[in-house]
Amino acid sequence: MPTSAGELLQLVRSERATTRKALLTSTGLSRTTLTARLDQLLGAGLLAEDGHEDSTGGRPARHLRFDDGHAVVLAASIDTMHAEAAVTDLAGRRLAHRAGELRVADGPEAVLDRIAEWFEAMLAEVGRPGGGLQGHSPGEPRLAGQVPGGPGGVVRAGPGLAGARGGAVGGNPGSDGGPGGVAATGPGLVGGHGGAAADNPGSAGGPSGVAGVNPGSAGGQAGIAGAEPSSATRPRGAAGAGWPPVCGIGISVPGPVEPGRTCVTQPPIMPGWDGYPIDTHLGPRFGAPVLVDNDANLMALGEHRARYPDSPALVVVKASTGIGAGLVIGGEVYRGVDGGAGDIGHVRLPDHPEARCLCGSTGCLAAVAGGGALAARLTELGLPTTSGSGVRERILAGEPAAVRLAEEAGRQVGEVLATLVCVVNPGVLVVAGDLAEPHFVAGVREVLYRRALPRSTRNLRIEIGGRGQAIDGAVAMVVDAQFSPAAVDKRL
């Protein structure tokens, strides 16, 4: 079967073939066909050809690479008491970052509005000269089918990709047209500067030339809000002056997310969020598709991509106010039938019938050993504590009661993980979250190695995770979805 342009891009992105000669060898395509498809990718700004590979003789080969600077990703990690957000390039390099206290219990509108404000401030920062990533100049190649606009500033295009300034998705005000700078495009990814995102020709943009995003129309594995024709606009819109083009938005949430959806389903610690359309809240504002997934899943994906790419099976345990696990098997997040894989926080411990969980059951691991449970017990001991992050602060301060409770909680989590390790047989187990500190992890190790089969642990590494894995995973989720072979072929 002929190798498509999207499959060629995937070969280059994975670095399995980074020269024309290597692509010819890998695919068996004719030179003419290969050249035509590479021209598509180069013209769309998805590939760049520069530098030289080492050569043993003859003319040096030109090096092909994925152009990871032609658009940005917006990513946010929402936790129970705080959140962080970042703007990154397509390789995950952070161009701007924000973090602060943010209570998920305040509800989706308040939380998402704050996240959106962070995004807008960071986009303005990144878009400044010297701010980290500048859009392509109007003179760079356009996508196939694009025609410069007339005096009205309209740019028509076929299905769009992450457009450059004045590119196939969104025009820069004043480029390829007048001040209106409206881009009328077919289904696409990115709203350009002042342009409309994912709008069919003729639908009108508002003050910033924004076209609305119809939620969930192109649902991917973790829930993509596909851009569909719409005339809905918002005052601040998808393209602020000087913003770089946005490829997509990835959101990490501390609750269950069903594959293909962009909302949480019956989250025990997220009042008011059940079924709330995160995509329609953020998508139209930035003219970009929105993907949402559980935080443990994205932490696992982030850890795998950044630190353990060669591990065939990896587990990340997030121990914070609640407890959950994310599994990466064969390089892909394993979510189960409806997104419930890894929900170890609701495994019941038989010796704790008095511990009532927010899910309504008793004896759940999260109700016994989660940060919320430890905070409540510290409060009962005369040490007022409200969340897992508060427990961590007391542990780091050397509070004896907090240290003792952390070690005990680690042993309880280790009991459940011993079973998980026997079932999954991972090469790496990463403990992350607010409780991921040496006392808690020592308790995990103590019980896990004693209870699990020696065969399951002889090649097992137990590590303490860093910070920001959920952001890294959210970026990877967006880039994987938006630049998969099928997605690229559809837009080209």
* Beta strand 332-334 pairing with 323-329: antiparallel
Residues with Cβ within 8 Å of residue 131, at least 6 apart in sequence: 95, 96, 125
Residues of the chain short of pLDDT 50, as ranges, are: 1, 134-238
Tell me the pLDDT tens digit for each residue of 364-419: 999 999 999 999 999 999 999 988 999 999 999 999 999 999 999 999 999 999 99
> What is the predicted pLDDT for the residue at 229?
32
Nearest to 473 by CA among 92, 123, 84: 92
Tell me the pLDDT tens digit for each residue of 248-306: 999 999 989 988 889 998 888 889 999 999 999 999 999 999 999 999 999 999 999 99
> What is the predicted pLDDT for the residue at 57?
55
List phi, psi (to 5°) of 384. -55, 120
Strand order in the sheet with 246-253: 94-101, 82-89, 72-78, 246-253, 290-294
In angstroms and rounded to an integer, the radius of gyration of the C-alpha atoms of the chain is: 24
Question: What is the sign of the dihedral through the CA atoms of 240, 242, 246 and 250?
Answer: negative
> What is the predicted pLDDT for the residue at 266?
84
Amino acid sitting at position 218: A
Alpha carbons 173 and 167: distance in angstroms, whole number: 12
Secondary structure (3-state) at 468? coil
Alpha carbons 389 and 376: distance in angstroms, whole number: 13
For the chain, the farthest-separated pair of C-alpha atoms sits apart, in whole angstroms, at: 77
Alpha carbons 411 and 406: distance in angstroms, whole number: 9
Query: Crossing angle of helices 20-27/5-13, nearest 10°?
Result: 120
Alpha carbons 83 and 485: distance in angstroms, whole number: 32
